[in-house]
Amino acid sequence: MTDTPNNGTTTASATGAPRGFMRRAGVVIRTMWARGTGRFALIVLGAWILVSLVSLVWTPHSIWQTNGYHVWARPSADHWLGTDGTGADVFSWLMAGSRTNLLIVVLTVLFAAAFGLLLVAMLVSRHTALAHGSVVAIDALISIPTVLIALMLAVPLGASVTVIVLACGFGYGLNLARVARPSAMLAARSMYVESARANGASAPRVFFTHIVPNIMPVLIVQCSLSAGTAVLAEAGLTYLGVGVPSGVPSWGHSLSTSVRFINIYPLTVLWPGLIVTIAVVALNLFGDALREAADPLTNPRLRGADGRRHQ
């Protein structure tokens, strides 16, 4: 039995990587599900994605269907959350808004991650001038609030989803680079990076195979925090008139339109705010749960049998 031919083990290791990844992903999701907070996050985010997809093909009423005789209606069997000042269905607007918010969150996180990684790559670059320059640039730009960047961008671009995504992605990317810098520097100065470079590995190859995996935990947490903040920023920027343009459904849009009639119809303002709060809580809990579940130090199930507690 010990004489098993070599090809047996090589095929196992060749398919081992993707299968190992799926197994780990399964363990991670099950671990998150086992905790109350993780389960809450998974359910809310799942529902959010589902509603966004459904809203593309179906909402209880068309969001453009207005009725001048039926404005500010109370919740009823026909209009589950009532109607707004134009007689349009509040529930349908919130459903449609969820896809805009999902789009903003996904694009912002992708942009922030890409921009942040680019900055990290510059920080660990072996061109000293580039590395030092990027440290200075990050330290200088990080104290500029995202809302100022958004206002700047809104001058030429007008109110648009692009403004939110660019401003938030820029700000959160800077944050990510700053937070990830210590672990990235540690990895960049390590022996295995030295030896990889000595063996002629190119700079991008070293970056993606050695440095990115080392900053993964930081990346996960920062991305989930960014996602939550992006939802809040959408609400704020849309209210300030530089976010989602009027006519495009979003939670921030629903919140801002109900603000003007707060004294007359207080109930309508409840729903969009509640949804934003629940979504942001879920995104934050998701990041925490994912970090704990994906870290072999805190999740014994990822290390196999040996999970005995250290004193």
Note the residues at the interface with other proteins (CB under 8 A). Answer: 136-137, 139-148, 151-157, 228-229, 232-233, 235-237, 239-242, 252, 255-256, 259, 262-263, 266, 269, 272-273, 276-278, 280-281, 284-285, 308-311
Place of tokens 């008139």: 241
In angstroms, rounded to a whole number, what is the distance separating the alpha carbons of residues 176 and 63? 37
Q: How far is the CB of 101 from other proteins (least distance, A)?
A: 12
Q: How far is the CB of 199 from other proteins (least distance, A)?
A: 32
β-sheet bridge partners, residue 89: 83
DSSP letter for each residue of 93-124: HHHHHHHHHHHHHHHHHHHHHHHHHHHHHHHT
Half-sphere exposure of 178 (CA within 13 A, CB side): 14
Amino acid at 1: M
Q: How far is the CB of 226 from other proteins (least distance, A)?
A: 12
Q: How far is the CB of 110 from other proteins (least distance, A)?
A: 21
In angstroms, rounded to a whole number, what is the distance separating the alpha carbons of residues 197 and 249? 51
Q: How far is the CB of 236 from other proteins (least distance, A)?
A: 5
Tokens linked to 258: 């109900």
β-sheet bridge partners, residue 83: 89
| Cβ atoms of 234 and 104 closer than 8 Å | yes
Q: How far is the CB of 145 from other proteins (least distance, A)?
A: 4
- Write out 220-233 in H/E/C secondary structure: HHHHHHHHHHHHHH
- Considering beta carbons, is residue 38 or 228 the nearer one to other proteins? 228
| Cβ atoms of 131 and 125 closer than 8 Å | yes
Tokens linked to 62: 């068309």
